[in-house]
Chain A
Amino acid sequence: MSGSIAGQEFPSAPATTGAEGGSLERRSVLRALGLGGGAALAATALAACSSSRTSSSTGSIGDFPKTSAWKFAFINHVTTNSFFAPTQSGMKDAASLLGLPAPTWTGSENGVVSEMVSAFETAISANVAGIAIPLTDSNAFIAPTKAALAAGIPVIAYNANASGNYALAYVGQDLYQSGYQMGLKIATEVTSGDILVGISQPGSLNVQPRLDGLKAALAAKAPGVTVHTVDTGAAQADELSAMESAYQGLKAAKGIYAVDAGSTASIAEMISKYGIKGQVHAGGYDLLADSITGVSSGALDFTIDQSAYLQGFLPVLYMFMYRMTGTLVFPPATDTGLTFVTSENVSPYASSKSWIEGGANKAVVPMPSSIGLPAPSTVQS
């Protein structure tokens, strides 16, 4: 079948043959997990499912046993933020792939923890099949997580993690490490003077660790740099004005950076607006349209891709496997990556407009003729 997987969710692709077309055996699932690869598990499940879509029976996908139509719930801290559009696509695609109803997407629009807790409790009381949540607070979600687990509802953290919580796994970027890497990159561009760093919600565990890592790296590698943090707020509309105000107050800043998606996009917009491209270093996170345009135009030196899509896709797969195997397949912690998108590799991001990255295009993105070398492996064998 070269048509779309799950009917509508995936783009048509040229027919593939060989191992990718094979069916999924439990042995192969376990092998995939044994390798510790969330991506491998995802690929294996995808392969199995792609061969099985001729079956129209609900709840029986690939060679998996029949299951109930498990409905998962995704709690989020900024439900209408465009950063999470790919995450929503990912969770829906995965659910569709597995023959499950689309997960619920709920929580808070403005990062209000009490609203997230309420949504969490509502999901538990609705007896959903699994809950995925960004643990943006270190304490507030402990009690609901315990309650969910006690009720037999698996909980997976995505996008933000908190030590001391009991989520089965974390699917997302290693936030502190990504901030540290960003700090190291900044240190190669700015060695002294002031820089502005926007943060949407100071203290929130989805962004604060990045800022902490960034500061630590600069303290180690460029101690002459003074970091001025800018609280830009959770609402995207306010972030541009916050960054503009900060820049007006510190025009001598040698760099303007951000540790969240909306603030990064606003920096790109601001640099174009004030015509200061090339006069100030800039960079940040995620792949909002303005950020990609900013990297393409040279307004931003870089933006960091953390694969928002996988943060929706993988938790659904993990919760499905966990339920289906009666907890035997324990969800693996998965780092969804740290890719610096720069002028050198921005082209496919800018041109594809893929739904995987929040665009509207659901076509297959063509493979490049050659693949650039990623960062060398640091795994000890």
Chain B
Amino acid sequence: MSAPTLTPADAPAAAPSAGSNLLRKLAATPEAGVVLACLVAFIGFSIAAPTYYSTDNLQVMGRDLAEFGILAIGESFVILTGGIDLSVGGLAGFAGILAGWFNVNEGLPGPVAIVLTLAVCAAIGLWHGTMVNKLNVPPFVITLVTFTICKGLALSVTSGTPITGMSNIFGDLSLYYVGPVPVPALIFLVVAVATWFALERTYVGRQIYAVGGNAEAARLAGIPVKRRVTSTYVVSSTLAGLVGILIIGRLGVADPSVAASGYELTAIAAAVVGGVSLFGGEGRIVGIAAGAILLELITNGLNAVNVSEYYQTVAQGVVLGVAILADRIRAQYFGGSRR
């Protein structure tokens, strides 16, 4: 069983030269557009604002990227099966509050608070999967319910006041560097590599693609469809929990405002820009990572070149639209098309 995107694109009938053949091959790669867009955005913003490519700013981008990049990867797991997880932003916010609460209010050591928080998040993912599989609740609905509850719980647990005085381990996770690289960026890298391996190099991963491509065919082929679907929600929720923990470490407090951040839409946008089909079954981790990187490059770049806050969202939409359009044109001419 192989996922559609893992199937090599048809080779061109005739290659005039090795160089053009390589170019054509690159252009036929589904992620080529978004990677190219990343390069163009980085070079463009670097020319416009010299501080854009400074080490300090790259470190800021690295920490930002870790937050919604990891969310995007988790979200992609669900989308690959044809579902959607709207809870990730609210859940990330709630997870931060939960970790802070375990640590400060319950007096649990930092590592225990982290493990417990991730366990609760995984259980929420299990709940999502169960609802989708057993009761046929649309993923949109059940995850929206969770989002709303999490947002409310983040406020009610804290009465709106951030939790302070947390263990140093949270700050260590978010604020330290390995060489010049922020630890969260490394965590993002580890998550990306691990999920790439799981999705694209394991039997289970290929089954997830198969479920998203055609659930009925997958079921007939003997794939445990429900279990695979549930596992993707567990991954998504757990990674959302991880992001929540990274955020409170960066802030030094567990702040309930994070639950209302709207990160879920950023995560979905990163996944789609990175080539994940909303119909399921298509998309690769390299594309998802590139999609998240592109969003971060644009967001940070618009600030760097001082685009008015009132126009930033418009500008982001336009840039993303152009990126997606260019990618569709590329796909039409060079293959590697997506649904």
User: A residues near B, CB below 8 A?
Assistant: 76, 79-80, 102, 104-107, 109-115, 117-119, 121-122, 124-127, 137-140, 142-143, 201-204, 208, 231, 233-234
Q: List 29 A-B contacts (CB under 8 A).
A: A80-B310, A106-B303, A109-B309, A110-B257, A110-B262, A111-B260, A112-B261, A113-B258, A114-B67, A114-B255, A122-B303, A125-B54, A125-B59, A125-B60, A126-B304, A127-B51, A127-B54, A138-B253, A139-B162, A139-B251, A140-B162, A140-B253, A143-B175, A201-B160, A203-B158, A203-B159, A203-B160, A208-B161, A233-B260
Q: Tell me if B82 counts as interface (CB < 8 A to partner A).
A: no
Among A76, A112, A234, find the residue whose CB has the most chain B CB atoms closer than 10 A.
Answer: A112
Interface of B is mostly: helix
Q: A143 contacts B252, CB within 8 Å?
A: yes
Residues of chain B lying within 8 A (CB to CB) of residue A114: 67, 247, 250-251, 255, 257-258, 261
What is the chain A residue whose CB lies nearest that of B171? A143
Q: A125 contacts B57, CB within 8 Å?
A: yes
Q: A80 contacts B255, CB within 8 Å?
A: no
What is the chain A residue whose CB lies nearest that of B163? A139
A203–B258 Cα gap in the complex (Å)? 13
A234–B262 Cα gap in the complex (Å)? 13
Q: Tell me if B216 counts as interface (CB < 8 A to partner A).
A: no
Q: Tell me if B49 counts as interface (CB < 8 A to partner A).
A: yes
Q: A138 contacts B162, CB within 8 Å?
A: yes
Known: A104-B306, A112-B260, A126-B51. A140 touches B159 (CB 8 A): no
Q: Tell me if B228 counts as interface (CB < 8 A to partner A).
A: no
Other than A111-B260, A231-B155, give 4 A-B pairs with Cβ distance below 8 A: A106-B303, A112-B261, A124-B56, A203-B159
A139–B170 Cα gap in the complex (Å)? 14
What is the chain B residue whose CB lies nearest that of A202? B160
What is the chain A residue whose CB lies nearest that of B304? A126
Known: A104-B306, A110-B261, A204-B257. A142 touches B161 (CB 8 A): no
Q: Tell me if B308 counts as interface (CB < 8 A to partner A).
A: yes
Q: B251 contacts A115, CB within 8 Å?
A: no
A106–B313 Cα gap in the complex (Å)? 12
Among B164, B255, B260, B308, find the residue whose CB has the most chain A CB atoms closer than 10 A.
Answer: B255
Instruction: Give me the 9 closest cross-chain CB pairs, A-B, nearest first.
Output: A202-B160, A203-B160, A125-B56, A125-B57, A203-B161, A140-B251, A79-B309, A139-B253, A126-B51
8 A Cβ contacts from B233-271 to A: 247, 250-253, 255-258, 260-262
A114–B256 Cα gap in the complex (Å)? 10
CB proximity of A138 to chain B, nearest CB, Å: 7
What is the chain B residue whose CB lies nearest that of A164? B164
Q: A122 contacts B253, CB within 8 Å?
A: no
Q: Tell me if B128 counts as interface (CB < 8 A to partner A).
A: no
Q: A122 contacts B57, CB within 8 Å?
A: yes
Residues of chain B lying within 8 A (CB to CB) of residue A204: 160, 257
Residues of chain B lying within 8 A (CB to CB) of residue A127: 51, 54
Residues of chain A lying within 8 A (CB to CB) of residue B67: 114
Among B161, B164, B251, B257, find the residue whose CB has the most chain A CB atoms closer than 10 A.
Answer: B257
CB proximity of B47 to chain A, nearest CB, Å: 15
A107–B309 Cα gap in the complex (Å)? 8
Q: Tell me if B300 counts as interface (CB < 8 A to partner A).
A: yes
A-B contact count (CB 8 A): 107
CB proximity of A144 to chain B, nearest CB, Å: 10
Residues of chain B lying within 8 A (CB to CB) of residue A137: 162, 251, 253, 255
A111–B155 Cα gap in the complex (Å)? 13
Q: A139 contacts B164, CB within 8 Å?
A: yes
CB proximity of A25 to chain B, nearest CB, Å: 34
CB proximity of A186 to chain B, nearest CB, Å: 21
A338–B255 Cα gap in the complex (Å)? 29
Known: A80-B309, A117-B251. A202 touches B51 (CB 8 A): no
Residues of chain A lying within 8 A (CB to CB) of residue B51: 125-127
A234–B257 Cα gap in the complex (Å)? 10
What is the chain B residue whose CB lies nearest that of A231? B155
Q: Give the residue of B252, B257, B304 whose beta carbon is less than 8 angstroms from that of A122.
A: B304
Q: Tell me if B284 counts as interface (CB < 8 A to partner A).
A: no
Q: B57 contacts A201, CB within 8 Å?
A: no
Residues of chain B lying within 8 A (CB to CB) of residue A203: 158-162, 256
Residues of chain B lying within 8 A (CB to CB) of residue A140: 162, 251-253, 255
Known: A79-B309, A125-B57, A125-B59. A139 touches B160 (CB 8 A): no
Residues of chain A lying within 8 A (CB to CB) of residue B160: 201-204, 208, 231
Residues of chain B lying within 8 A (CB to CB) of residue A115: 261
CB proximity of A84 to chain B, nearest CB, Å: 10
Q: Tell me if B206 counts as interface (CB < 8 A to partner A).
A: no
Residues of chain B lying within 8 A (CB to CB) of residue A107: 309
A76–B252 Cα gap in the complex (Å)? 19
A115–B309 Cα gap in the complex (Å)? 13
A80–B312 Cα gap in the complex (Å)? 11
A136–B60 Cα gap in the complex (Å)? 21
Known: A113-B257, A140-B252. A104 touches B159 (CB 8 A): no
A234–B261 Cα gap in the complex (Å)? 11
Q: B64 contacts A118, CB within 8 Å?
A: yes
User: Interface code B49-91, partner A: CB below 8 Å = 1, 0 otherwise?
Assistant: 1011010110110011001000000000000000000000000
What is the chain A residue whose CB lies nearest that of B248? A114
A115–B89 Cα gap in the complex (Å)? 13
A76–B308 Cα gap in the complex (Å)? 13
CB proximity of A162 to chain B, nearest CB, Å: 11
A223–B59 Cα gap in the complex (Å)? 53
CB proximity of B43 to chain A, nearest CB, Å: 18
Residues of chain B lying within 8 A (CB to CB) of residue A118: 60, 63-64
Q: Give the residue of A105, A113, A138 whose beta carbon is less than 8 angstroms from that of B309.
A: A105
Among A107, A115, A234, find the residue whose CB has the most chain B CB atoms closer than 10 A.
Answer: A115
8 A Cβ contacts from B151-168 to A: 155, 158-162, 164
